[in-house]
Amino acid sequence: MTLIEKIIRTEGHLIDSGLLRRVFDTVISDGGRFEVLDFTIGRNNDEFSRARIKINADDVVDMNTILLKLSTLGCVIDKEEEITLVPAPADGVVPPDFYSTTNHETFIQLHGTTIKVDKLRMDGVIVVGRDDVGLVTASVRKLRDVRKGDSIVVGLSGVKVKPEYVERSRSDFRFMSAEVSTERKVRLAVDRVAELINDRNKKVVTVAGPVVVHTGGAPDLARLIENGYIQALLAGNAVAVHDIEADLYGTSLGLDLQTGRPVEMGHRNHLRAINEVRRAGSIAALVDEGLLTSGIMFSAIRTGIPFSLAGSLRDDGPLPETVTDMNQAQDDHSRILEGADIVLMLSSMLHSIAVGNMLPANVLTICVDINPSAVAKLKDRGSLQTIGIVTDVGLFLQLLASKLLDHPSVPI
């Protein structure tokens, strides 16, 4: 049996971020062995630690699996290698050994220089080209947007990934993702979120599920939009439908929002809401007619923040604004997310995971869900930068709006 050997390098907050342990675990769990050749520890808060590690595996396949996983942890092969480029064989098709991107900051090595990869997102490929003045560019593209002849990065050589290191300032959130939060912890978390989104230089995008409306959180989310704390809204057809139903008929999925009791013939109300919007021509037209006077969609339209409503198989209607071409909906979401600093994900597991995939890792995501496994699932999909707050979303929005708008100086 041939023993394969590679030497890799890594640097960063290797100890307190747990990165070094993850590197070792990865090598061992994929059947490899490691030997630390050099290790320099960062001597203060800012200084990085650096390590050179020898990896052994029994065959090429094992070694490639290990190296692929280690590259997502920021490890690079010791000697400076260059990338390999292969032309795309057809529109929407890439060479079989294409490099698949992560959401972490990525660099490629070409002609002796290091080039930063832009338009970062997970599950894309790297296309290398030239800009208008002839400089080499590298950007992430979705498979379907690749054109025949595009230069695609293949294999792992020359690609360097810089993972997000767990920041010390985020440590107070860590406990919340693992367990059901007590009321006290929720209040602390709301306080911290209020601090984060109070920074008017930050672009805050929210992803909302219909539970926001069912739990009575819509008026508070609308207040946050009206007061400029939310700069864009991503949702599905259902959120808009139930939000409009709540304003027009006082129900959400046929339940009275004040009493929580079913209203006679209330099950028709969401269809009546859809019908009203379709009659008017659009949600904006219903606002213009003076018939839609409150709620999330009303505030989004009145303030002019961009929104995107993505369709789904379960949709009734849909509303005229709902985009049922899924490629178009993905592109609309991505465009709205450009430049986002914080994404507030409110009780919509599938939608949040989809949005998480579109984001670079340096975007802070705050996921509010009553089920701890929803937060865990987001992290498992690679959105490690997620802060989880396990609580009822209606309560969360009420506390957040109250903290920011009614009692800004009072600790919660």
Ligand X SMILES: NC(=O)c1ccc[n+]([C@@H]2O[C@H](COP(=O)([O-])OP(=O)(O)OC[C@H]3O[C@@H](n4cnc5c(N)ncnc54)[C@H](O)[C@@H]3O)[C@@H](O)[C@H]2O)c1
Contact residues for ligand X, defined by CB under 6 A: 209-211, 215, 236-238, 310, 312, 314-315, 347-351, 369-371, 374, 392-393
Query: Cβ distance 207 to 389 under 8 Å?
Result: no
Is the Cβ of residue 58 or residue 392 nearer to ligand X in the bound state? 392
Query: In 13-35, which positions are buried (b, 16+ CB within 10 angstroms) versus exposed (e)?
Result: bbeebebbebbeebbeebebebe
Minimum CB distance to ligand X smaller for 140 or for 190: 190
Q: How open is the CA angle 395-400-403, to the nearest 5 degrees?
A: 125
Nearer Cβ to ligand X (293/371): 371
For the bound state, the minimum distance from the C-beta of residue 374 to ligand X, rounded and expressed in Å, comes to: 4
Judge whether 28 and 35 are in contact, CB under 8 Å: no
Name the closest residue to ligand X (Cβ).
236
Least spacing, CB of residue 312 vs ligand X, in Å: 4
Task: Using the minimum distance from each CB to ligand X, give the nearer residue, 36 or 350.
Answer: 350
d(CA 295, CA 257): 13
Comparing CB distances to ligand X, the nearer of 6 and 214 is 214
First to last CA, the chain: 64
Q: Per DSSP, what are the bridge partners of residue 232? A: 205
CB of 313 to ligand X, least distance (A): 8
CB of 367 to ligand X, least distance (A): 9
Considering the complex, state which of residue 121 and residue 242 has its C-beta at the smaller distance from ligand X.
242
Nearer to ligand X, 75 or 395 (CB): 395
Phi, psi of 5 (to 5 degrees): -135, 135
Q: Which two tokens stand for residue 358?
A: 């579109």
Kindly tell me the sign of the dihedral angle through the C-alpha atoms of 312, 316, 322, 325: positive
Q: Contact, 103 vs 383, CB < 8 A?
A: yes
How is residue 166 annotated by DSSP?
Answer: P
**What is the smallest separation between the CB atom of 208 and ligand X, expressed in angstroms?**
8
Short-list 85, 310, 99, CA closest to 208: 310
**Minimum Å distance from CB 190 to ligand X?**
14
- Give the nearest distance from C-beta 392 to ligand X in angstroms: 4
- In the block, residue with structure tokens 């207040």: 223
